[in-house]
């Protein structure tokens, strides 16, 4: 399966922990495609945001089993990536202040 750069990076993952890492360690957090590997994620971030990546860490999360009364279902599995930027490059901003 061929993944495009816009298919690999799904969305920024914004939590208290991720914003703290962004401020302290120049580390960004993204929700990424399940089939993407570290090399594909690094290439996609560099091309989409015009920046240089130092390191990529990836975590896989299995979907949880959920029950609705007597019916059971499962949430989808997903993948999260922590991207550390090089020191001399400009930081990526998720939102523009108007």
Whole-angstrom Cα distance, residue 64 to residue 68? 13
**Could you tell me the CA-to-CA distances from 1 to 8, 20, 42 in Å, in that order?**
12, 35, 18
Give 95's pLDDT tier (boundaries 50, 70, 90): low
In the structure, what pLDDT confidence band is assigned to residue 88 with cuts at 50, 70 and 90? confident
Question: Bridge partners of 12?
Answer: 30
The pLDDT-based confidence of 82 (bands split at 50, 70, 90) is very high
pTM for this one?
A: 0.86
In the Cβ-directed half-sphere of 18, how many Cα atoms lie within 13 Å? 14
Residue pLDDT, tens place only, 56-74:
999 999 999 999 999 999 9
Q: Which domains does the chain have, with CATH numbers?
A: 5-85 (3.30.70.330)
């Amino acid at each position: 399966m061929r993944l495009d750069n816009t298919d690999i990076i799904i969305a920024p993952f914004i939590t208290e922990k991720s914003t703290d890492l962004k401020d302290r360690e120049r580390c960004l957090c993204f929700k990424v495609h399940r089939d993407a590997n570290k090399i594909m994620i690094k290439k996609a971030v560099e091309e989409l945001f015009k920046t240089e990546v130092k390191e990529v860490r990836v975590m896989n999360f299995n979907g949880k089993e959920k029950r609705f009364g007597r019916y059971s279902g499962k949430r989808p599995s997903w993948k999260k990536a922590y991207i550390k930027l090089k020191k001399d490059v400009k930081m990526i901003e998720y939102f523009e202040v108007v």
